[in-house]
Amino acid sequence: MSKNPHWVASASILLASLIWGASFPVLRYLLEAGVQPLALIAARFAVGAAGLAVVLVLTRTRLDLRALVQGGVIGLVLAVGYWFQTDGIRFTTSSKAAFITGLFVLFTPLLSAMLGQPARGRHVAGALLAVVGLLLLVRQPGAPLGGWTRGDGENLVAAMVFAVQIVLIARFARATPPLALAFVQIAVVAVAAMAALVATGQPLRPPVHAPAGVWAALGFLGLAATALAFAIQCTMQARLGATEAAVLFSLEPVFATLLAVSGWAPGVHEHLAPIQWAGAAVLVGAALWAERGPALIGIGPRRAGPQT
């Protein structure tokens, strides 16, 4: 890990953020194509686990007891987060889902504070600013609850859960082989989703007459957005720390929204009203302020190196 320069780790996390941002419109496309949330999660993470299993064999990475226990804990947390996120996207737009999920950048330092690291004033200020941005983002005049939907609420829960996952990886990745940690958590999510499918009697595969785009989208989610992105996170995040990584991940909704409004994703062409664009901008500003704070305007020392 020490051989990876800081900029390589930052660029790698940024790549993972880009991939995960692109996954929001892809998820929306698959759900609209008739793939059920549990089946989507099971297929995605099964493909991801298979891809990483090949990498483990090629790199001769061993799965020891520590990796199984720590990866299992993270995997169970991750399964809860992805259930709320995937199910929630059915009831909101991919753009709103991405920005609400991006609030994990604020929950991460607050959770770290609960675990013993004092919360900085800018984290509290960022959280308050994010509330304002969130209200602007979801606002639809005349709509029930001002435009807040079940999907928005589920993605907010997912953001809290993902903050837990980021903190756990920051604590575990320094002592556990990162590829092993990534594989176990992905495999646990796949097994949990399959068990839920069996328990509820739902089919695993997509609709019989699913177009080729559905299979291509599942391949992207499994190999790129799961195997590759989680391998990057577990390998590189320990170099940065939980909070710094969370800030880079906060660009994920920006990438998601740009793709959703561009129309490049098949069947997904969303529109944000000016007030919603303002809310999105406030959320990004809140995330940046929570991490960099006064350094953004030249006040106070600039931090470098790992931050947890």
pLDDT, tens digit, for every residue of 142-198? 666 667 889 999 999 999 999 898 888 877 877 788 889 889 999 999 999 999 999
Collapse the DSSP code of 247 into the 3-class scheme (helix H, G, I; strand E, B; otherwise coil) and give the result: helix
C-beta separation of 133 from 285 below 8 A: yes
Q: What is the pLDDT of residue 142?
A: 62
Q: What percent of the chain is predicted at pLDDT more than 70? A: 78
C-beta separation of 93 from 245 below 8 A: no
B/e letters for 208-235, b = 16+ CB within 10 Å, e = fewer, are eebeeebeebbebbbbbbbbbbbbbbbb
pTM: 0.78
| Stretch 80-108: mean pLDDT | 87
Dihedral, CA atoms, 258, 263, 268, 272, nearest 10 degrees?
Answer: 50
- pLDDT band for 300, please (50, 70, 90 cuts): very low
- pLDDT band for 307, please (50, 70, 90 cuts): very low
Counting DSSP H helices and E strands in the chain, the numbers are: 13, 0
3-state class percentages of the chain: helix first, strand second, coil last, to nearest 5: 75, 0, 25
Helix (H) or strand (E) run with residue 29 in it: helix 6-32
Q: Closest Cα to residue 25, out of 174, 276, 290, 225?
A: 225
